[in-house]
Amino acid sequence: MKLQRPDYAYMNGKIIPWDEATIHIGCEAATRGLNVFEGLKGYWYKDGRFGIVFLERHFKRLQRSAKLMYIPCPWTYKEFENAVFELVGTLLNKEKDMWMRPTLFVVEGHWGEGTKADLVITAYNQDKEEPSPIKVGVSSWQRAIDPVLPARIKTSTNYQIGRFARIDGRTRGFQDMILLNQWGRVAEATASCVIMVRDGVIYTPPATEGALESITIDFVEEIAKSLNIEFIRRPIDRTELLISDEVCICGTLAELVPVEQIDTVKLNPETPILSKIRKKFYNIVRGMEEHPEFEVSFVPESKNKKI
């Protein structure tokens, strides 16, 4: 897989060339992995506008993660929004959607004293096609418990186990892996949450099971309600996942990816419930349908330019 190398990034309060977006080898972001981040997704509307979904909700979650990691976040929402718009405007491609990663890196301080952070934003173009069904496995690696490494903190250190699991999964022919918690129940996938359907009801593990407090899951719940589909958050056993009617992994980057196989168990290719959810989800984020709980921030035309 070839990684994208954008022309620009946002760092030190301005747009800078990609090669200049560097951090010092002695900073805590490098020595201890001290950072918190978010994933943002932007979509093109048919009228030519480019909208970033749930931008303010992501900023608030970034603030919560920073608070729990004792990382200062002095930026206001408007400053954050403007920084995102500035970078996105330099990288927009009419043929592609975009995924953005705002990160607070700890650049000064030592063991929590004198801590200072910088807001760094990177952005990558993505194809507009909806994701195809994937095969997943159940990993032997476990999601850490709250007193060890809280899953509700969106920090890169929380994704080390996911990295191990995905590397192991590739050797077994799986595109993603399911992580279990200390009780052997479903927590989440390596970088997204899990939803399943049984007897017409959608279920997903709550945050107390080791799942991220997902903004996308919250929106899927609202979509389900609008379609009169019951949505319940409760623990899910591994075996229950294997006998479920439909399964999907869900997140800002993943969006809604159907799962066609878990370990050696093939799932029913018919997904009547999740297909309805997926169709409405994409119609909403692309501006073809409206929903009262949907929030979108449009990049101003004045920002839509190349440096």
Say which CATH number the domain at 189 has. 3.20.10.10
Q: Are 153 and 101 in the same domain? A: no
The per-residue pLDDT of the chain, averaged, comes to 95
Are both 164 and 228 inside the same structural domain?
yes
Query: Would you place residue 301 in the very low, low, confident or very high pLDDT band (cuts 50, 70, 90)?
Result: confident
Residue 281 lies in a domain: no
Claim to verify: residue 149 and residue 231 sit in the same structural domain = yes
Same domain, 35 and 56: yes
pLDDT in tens, 158-188: 999 999 999 999 999 999 999 999 999 999 9
pLDDT in tens, 274-285: 999 999 999 999
Q: Specify if 124 maps to a domain.
A: yes
Q: Assign 84 to helix, strand or coil.
A: helix
Neighbours of 34 (CB within 10 A): 23
Q: Based on the domain organization, do 87 and 150 belong to the same domain? A: no
On whether both 212 and 258 belong to a single domain, the answer is yes
Q: State the total domains in the chain.
A: 2
- Residues 6+ away with beta carbon under 8 Å from 29: 23, 35, 105, 106, 107
Indicate whether 149 and 118 sit together in one domain. Answer: no
- The pTM assigned to this predicted structure is 0.94
List all residues 6 or more positions away from 122 whose beta carbon is below 8 Å from its beta carbon: 6, 9, 10, 21, 87, 100, 101, 103
47-62 per-residue burial string, b: 16 or more CB within 10 A, e: under 16: eeebbbbbbeebbebb
- Token readout for 177 is 């892996």
Residue range of the domain that includes 158: 134-270
Question: In angstroms, rounded to a whole number, what is the distance separating the alpha carbons of residues 227 and 159?
Answer: 34
Question: Which pLDDT belongs to residue 2?
Answer: 73
For residue 242, the 8-state DSSP code is: H
160 and 115 in a common domain: no
Q: Does residue 149 share a domain with residue 236?
A: yes
**Beta pairing class for 176-180 and 134-142:** parallel
